[in-house]
Structure 1
Amino acid sequence: MTEPLTPVTAAPTAAAPTAVRPPLPVKMVIAGGFGVGKTTTVGSISEIEPLTTEAAITEVAAGVDDLTHTPAKTTTTVAMDFGCVTIDPTLKLYLFGTPGQERFGFMWDDIVEGAVGGLVVVDTRRLDDCYAAVDYFEHKGIPFAVAVNAFDGKVEHSLEDVRWALDVSEGVPVLVFDARERGSVRDALLVVLEQALARTEG
């Protein structure tokens, strides 16, 4: 009597790996006047070594740029700052910081092209320096938020006073943040993302 045949079964195989999509790249601009903390903002949150185009402030430039409130500043951005941060597995922000001086304004269109929104960094001791950035985003119709940098942990004016002085609408968020703190910068960037998303859904 012969033994019954045992059915042959295929050897178990590992499950096919699920394709993982790379995070969606999103461009955002960090803007504002001279010495307000744009380079610091990018550097605080970037997950890569930020690319900066810092040049030494010469005696000629010092005579043009107001160093009253930033006497220790020895360099300035002459083209742009660049960094990036992964917000979550689906989204990666590419951050482009603009130069603050008006004489470098001709580069703004190239830097801002394709951006979903902007964070306008403000020093309340020198609000006049930020008018150009606010006007630029308003004129281009790009969503933005105004972020008051808390130098030495404090601001000189209330947020309502800042809103009034900059003449921004109620639809533009005005907030306080610390450009040196990663978590604070992240929260400010998320506000801009919310503005951009609301504009898209609207």
Structure 2
Amino acid sequence: MDSAVSDLLAPVEDDNVQPWQNDRSRAPIATKIVVAGGFGVGKTTFVGTVSEITPLRTEALMTRASEETDDLTATPGKLSTTVAMDFGRITLDDDLVLYLFGTPGQQRFWFMWDDLVRGAIGVVVLADTRRLKDCFPALDYVESCGLPYAVAVNHFEGTPAYEAEDVREALSIPADIPVVIMDARKRITVVESLLALLRHALDVTPE
């Protein structure tokens, strides 16, 4: 066999390569998860924190033209916004691969949501306790689609801490829907949010 071809077929030595990727007898279980929520709630950070690949981001600079439609009160330092989607990948449980798709938060880009949720097993809806009303459109959307979902409350520094059950009551979230308190900058809490959604999706999916 040509040496160049042999080099291409040889296992790749890379810290980011998972065991199943070098085992040709196995195929990964690929799962799509959507991360939704209001403007500036932390969706881009959520995806980037856990992605084992360089996340794909479609961001544009904020301009004065958006001042009348985008409330920057809670996020005065925000300079850019997602205009299409965020994309990342994380491998769990050896060969379970999650593909994460973050939705744009601005209302004028919500038409993208119909495409992003296609084929997804569920949605993580991010919430910010300073602006809980901003997550209602995402909650209404996933409920109308009939998709399993979990609510992840992104706790920002310097804001009051709330219990998950307090947020559940404020948002009128049904008792069977997972509600978790997390920090989108901390990998372990983001993973816990994804696992909460996966467990819920498995519970409600018919066998």
Q: Are residue 76 (structure 1) and residue 81 (structure 2) matched?
A: yes
Instruction: Report what 1:8 is aligned to.
Output: none
Return 5+ residue gaps in structure 2 as ranges. Answer: 1-22
The reply to whether residue 62 of structure 1 matches residue 62 of structure 2 is no
Q: What's the CA shift for 1:62?
A: 2.5
Residue identity over aligned pairs, in percent, reads 56
1:23 and 1:108 map into 2 onto residues whose CA distance is 26
Partner of 1:185: 190
Q: Which amino acid aligns with 2:26?
A: R
Question: TM-score if structure 2 supplies the norm length?
Answer: 0.85
1:38 corresponds to which of 34, 43, 49 = 43
Q: 2:115 is matched with which residue?
A: 110
Distance between the aligned counterparts of 2:106 and 2:48, measured in 1?
20
Residue 119 of structure 1 is matched in structure 2 by 124
Question: How much has 1:105 moved relative to structure 2?
Answer: 1.1
- Alpha-carbon distance between aligned partners in 1 of 2:181 and 2:159, rounded to the nearest angstrom: 9
Deviation at 1:43, TM superposition (A): 0.2
Query: What is the correspondence of 1:87-102 to structure 2 with a 5 Å cutoff?
Result: 87-102=92-107
Q: Deviations over 1:20-69 (max 9, x none)?
A: 31211100000000000000000000000000011000001123100001
Q: TM-score, normalised to structure 1's length?
A: 0.87
Equivalent pairs counted in the alignment come to 186
Equivalent AA in structure 2 for residue 164 of structure 1: E
Equivalent residue for 1:132, pick from 133, 137, 141? 137
Q: Tell me which amino acid in the other structure corresponds to 2:94.
A: P
Find the aligned partners of 1:55 and 1:155 in 2 and give their Cα distance: 31
Shift of 1:19: 4.6
Greater C-alpha radius of gyration: 1
Query: For 2:193 and 2:158, how far apart are their aligned partners in 1?
Result: 16
Equivalent in the alignment of 1:149: 154
Query: 1:48 is matched with which residue: 44, 53, 63?
Result: 53
- The answer to whether the Cα contact below 8 Å between 1:22 and 1:89 also exists between their aligned partners in 2 is no
Unaligned runs of 5+ in 1: 1-17
Q: Which residue of 1 aligns with 2:16?
A: none
Question: Once superposed, what is the RMSD of the aligned Cα atoms?
Answer: 1.7
Counterpart-to-counterpart distance in 2, 1:45 and 1:101: 23
Q: Distance in 2 between matches of 1:156 and 1:133?
A: 22
Contact kept in structure 1, 2:163 and 2:181, CA below 8 Å = no
User: 2:125·2:150 contact (CA, 8 Å) conserved in 1?
Assistant: yes
Question: What SS does the corresponding residue of 2:57 show, helix, strand or coil?
Answer: coil
1:104 to partner: Cα distance: 1.1
Matched residues in 2 for 1:19 and 1:52: separation? 31
- Check 1:136–1:155 CA distance in 2 against 1; reply closer, same or farther (3 A cut): farther
Q: Is the 8 A contact 1:148 1:155 kept in 2?
A: no
Matched, 1:195 2:200: yes
